[in-house]
Amino acid sequence: MKSQVATLFASAALLAFSASSVSAQILASYPLSNDLLDATGTNGPVFLYGSTTGPANGVCVGGTWGVPGSGDELYTPTIAGFDEFDFRLDVDFNVTALNSSSSNPILVGSRGWRFIGIGIDGNGNVGILHNNSNWLFSTTAINVGEWHWATLKYDNGNVELLLNGASILTANVGPLSTNNDYRFTTSNWANGGVLDGCVRNIVIANDATIGASTARAADYGTGCGGLTLTANGLPSLGNVTFAYDVEGPLPLLPFAYIGFGNTTIEPGVDLTPVGMPGCLAYTDLGAGITGPATLSATTGAGSLPFPIPNTAALAGALLSAQAIGFLPTQLASSNGTRIYVGN
């Protein structure tokens, strides 16, 4: 069976995401895959305005500016416990179109004060917004129409910007003027800039460590046959209780395998030619297949323990994963789940 499953995914590698650094004390997490809720349960849901749509593996913002509350926008409620001197922002984004100016925001801190933000100039170069209208741009450009992942770290005046796991910009921007407005938005009200594209996996955290690799897990893509895969816990060095949770509809054979790779694939590769219509491959399987995970005969849910060794060499490593289960009439594959190992 392992050989058969491996064959189904063998030609799936397309888009590579390298190792990344992220997280510490997570204050809010908005996957935006099925709802608008904060997965930590601490903060309220995000707000959508205008022609903003979703969630459906993300929320898509239409790119039309208007005064606050009338244009296209996603914004969070005030984030409880936010430390304006030491924090980190994460966001997956897919830009539909760029305007010719530097007003292409992705995620901006504060609707009123714009104290920090991630954005893109008219050529697609990713940069940092700080203190209202000051921009610093890298020389690294994104591809329009593709999903990317950005991380912004701020630690007492110092900033670091990462794109798809690679550090692309560091600088000292000094103290931030926040007016204690700890909401985050897809608009830049300083110059009328609005995201024209989609976002998901928004994470707001305290205790950023610039230059360090820290643990992060995120889902991407959509499974078929109702099969889902999620990380249980953070993939921190030495976390012996880390596991992958699998869940599928009944009737479902009471086991599933999980394939692992060193790249994530998005958009996924169509598996219709190998007899899995409606299913996509989201990992290259370069790291092999393991299992089975035993699934409950009454709930269809199960877990596969995956302890993380306390080995410093693993810090910053990327691992992509995807489950495969067995419906009465065909194989089914889950969404993808990527982890970055760290502290």
pLDDT reported for residue 207: 83
Q: Which fold has domain 25-206?
A: Jelly Rolls (2.60.120)
Q: Which residue spans of the chain are classified as CATH 2.20.130?
A: 2-17+216-340
pLDDT reported for residue 3: 32
Q: What is the mean pLDDT of each run of 10 residues along the chain (343 residues)?
A: 32 27 71 92 95 90 76 94 95 88 84 91 92 91 89 94 87 95 90 88 87 77 90 89 91 87 87 89 89 86 91 85 87 90 79
- CATH-assigned architecture of domain 2-17+216-340: Single Sheet (2.20)
Q: Which residue spans of the chain are classified as CATH 2.60.120.200?
A: 25-206
Distance CA 190, CA 245 (A): 43
